Amino acid sequence: MIPTTLRRSLANWGVRTMLALGALSSMSVAQAAIGDAVNAHLNAGEFGQATDLALTANSPEERTALLQQIAAAQAATGEFQPSRVTLSRINDRAARQAARRAAAGATHAGGGLQPDFRTLELIIMENTSATNWDEIDGGDGAITPFPTGVRVDGHGLLERQTQVTSTALKALRENVRTPAVNQELQQSSGLRLVSLKRLEQAVAQRLEDGLPVPESMSRFAGLTSIEYVFVYPEDKDIVVGGPAEGWSVDAAGRAIGTSSQQPVLSLDDFVTVLRAYSQGTADFGCSINTREAGVKALMEYAETSQQKGPLAPAAVKSWVNQLQKKLGRQDIVVWGIPADSHAARTLVEADYRMKLVGVDQLDLAKEVPSYFDLLPPSLQKSGSMDALRWWLTLDCQSISHSPDRDTFQLAGTAVKCQSENQLLTADGKHLPTGLSEATNRQFAENFTTNYDTLAANDLVFGEAKNIFELAMAAAIITHEKLDQKVSWDYGVFAAGESYDPAHLPVPTEVDSVVNHRVYNGKNIVVQVAGGVRANAAQMVQDKDRQQVAPKLETVSQTAARPQLPEGRWWWDAAR
């Protein structure tokens, strides 16, 4: 049975279509401008006829503008692949690339795959009592899809979402899709190799033909980690390799390895970090920063509250709400990579969730108790307000390389949580101390040691680790000038070229992470600063982490590219 609102929408579409057809039937193309005729076809949903007309325009500029208009109309109805095909019919290469970049920015579709949230949105509207959805009754209620448990509103506010409880929504969220890719890619491999140049050329050809980038490419052939980076000067190729497995795509659009249950690597993320390092970026990351006025207001309020003595149990909730209100929002800062990239969003969310774990607002693993749970009795009795800093960094134990520096192996690549206690001044400033007291250090050490457990329970931490590993590979390529060894200018992966990673709404602020615990009638307030820093360039340049490993020459021979069919860019090798 078709819902009333859907029947109404279909009926309205039918009216619009008939009116448009009537207008077209009374119009002579010879008597009207081509642009008007194209508009009439678009109003009727006749994209093929509109395209044929557009191609008859005498002016190249007019043809380009009309084809862009048609492609935009196709994308607006969800026909993204036909939209790309339409753009491919723009003859001038520079104009075609510019049109593709403009279309990617307008639709946020980019070069990467985007999840389809339409079914989820319809279920939400049909299973809630709200009656002011903008799609139904012209109200101001709207749904903004965001795949990883938080959302960004129209003003850039990052918000944590409540857990879905509806049976229908749970079923949808847990639903996974097996991608339609070569079945060989769905097999696990101890060492899968990806030719970066061949992959780039295959992507470039897809874009040139106006076709979408397939999942096999956007998911990096199912690689779950990068262990090796090879350069083959004689073949003019750069190859990365590591374990790989088949994957399924969940309702949030993540590609999850069938064995590891962790996200596989992303081409969007690789292109993002490769562009950053190739343009001289020293590092990239994010921070969530308190505002001085908010810190000052929080300090004054907490001090006044302490002077009044213990809180009545009924007043605690109100008091905590006031703490949150006094501190207000914090500013999100991203550097080194585009703020609207998937990589940036992932790092921001990982930072935010780390803070929630630390102040006992998110329980992800019993092995990682909150700061409050770690406090020794001596500090529980004091009553205080602590300003802590926790931040995530890349940690790579060693980088082995062959004597000729044509093979590199990454060992122990991991995410490390670091800590610091900060001083708060009367005017609300955070002052670094360079020191971390025992409880603060213990939380950071627990977080680092049990990072894989956290990643198993919250996939954003797995995605953050993937970004760090891709950053290490990109840093090796740029620092060792491997691109110059093979005369590769990165092609469509270069900055400003036609591969356009997905664009996401940019978070600019977030409600502060603050919490308290009452011990022996005294309140201990904790608020946190921090961030994420991907310091791969520093790791690669650190000579203390480098070591020569002659045995890697054998690995390089084993991994060398075999004879491959035309267009093949990946292969498996025995360990």
- Is the pLDDT assigned to residue 146 strictly greater than 50? no
Coil, strand or helix: which one is 181?
A: coil
Please report the sign of the dihedral spanned by the C-alpha atoms of residue 145, residue 151, residue 157, residue 162: positive
Q: Which residues pair with 261 in a beta bridge?
A: none
- Is the pLDDT assigned to residue 108 strictly greater than 80? no
Which tokens belong to 507? 């978070």
Q: What is the mean pLDDT of the chain?
A: 77
Q: pLDDT category, 499, cuts 50, 70, 90?
A: very high
Distance CA(299)–CA(514), nearest Å, equals 12
Distance CA(365)–CA(419), nearest Å, equals 19
- Model confidence pLDDT, tens digit, residues 436-459: 888 889 999 999 999 999 999 999
Distance CA(216)–CA(181), nearest Å, equals 6
Coil, strand or helix: which one is 121?
A: helix
Amino acid residing at 405: R
Count the alpha carbons within 13 Å of 369 in the hemisphere toward its beta carbon. Answer: 7
Q: Which residue has the tokens 């004879």?
A: 563
pLDDT at 523: 60
Which tokens belong to 438? 């025992």
Tell me what percent of the residues of the chain surpass a pLDDT of 90. Answer: 32
Q: pLDDT category, 26, cuts 50, 70, 90?
A: very low
- Model confidence pLDDT, tens digit, residues 352-390: 999 889 888 889 999 999 988 888 776 655 555 667 888
- The arrangement of strands across the sheet holding 247-250 comes to 176-177, 247-250, 255-257
Mean pLDDT for the stretch of residues 479-490: 95
All structural domains of the chain with their residue ranges: 31-100, 150-170+182-269+557-572, 281-550
Higher local confidence (pLDDT), 471 or 359:
471
Give 113-120 contacts, CB < 8 A, sequence gap 24+. 113/212, 113/213, 113/215, 113/218, 113/249, 113/253, 113/502, 114/253, 114/502, 115/145, 115/147, 115/249, 115/251, 115/252, 115/253, 117/143, 117/145, 118/78, 119/172, 120/145, 120/169, 120/172, 120/251
- Model confidence pLDDT, tens digit, residues 534-571: 878 887 888 888 888 888 888 888 888 888 888 889 99
Q: pLDDT category, 342, cuts 50, 70, 90?
A: very high
Whole-model pTM: value is: 0.71
Higher local confidence (pLDDT), 409 or 179:
409
Number of Cβ atoms within 10 Å of the Cβ of 443: 25
- Is the pLDDT assigned to residue 264 strictly greater than 60? yes
DSSP code per residue over 256-319: EETTT-SBPP-HHHHHHHHHHHHTT---EEEEEE--HHHHHHHHHHHHHHHHT-SPPGGGHHHH
Distance CA(431)–CA(2), nearest Å, equals 61
Report the Cα 204 to chain-centroid distance in Å: 22
- Is the pLDDT assigned to residue 283 strictly greater than 70? yes
Distance CA(359)–CA(513), nearest Å, equals 8
CB 303 within 8 A of CB 345: no
pLDDT at 382: 55
Which tokens belong to 549? 């490993």
Mean pLDDT for the stretch of residues 87-98: 81
Mean pLDDT for the stretch of residues 40-51: 82
- Is the pLDDT assigned to residue 120 strictly greater than 50? no
Number of Cβ atoms within 10 Å of the Cβ of 249: 18
- Is the pLDDT assigned to residue 294 strictly greater than 60? yes
Q: Which residues pair with 534 in a beta bridge?
A: 284
- Model confidence pLDDT, tens digit, residues 171-227: 433 444 555 556 788 899 999 999 999 999 999 999 988 888 988 999 999 999 999
Q: Which residues pair with 522 in a beta bridge?
A: 519
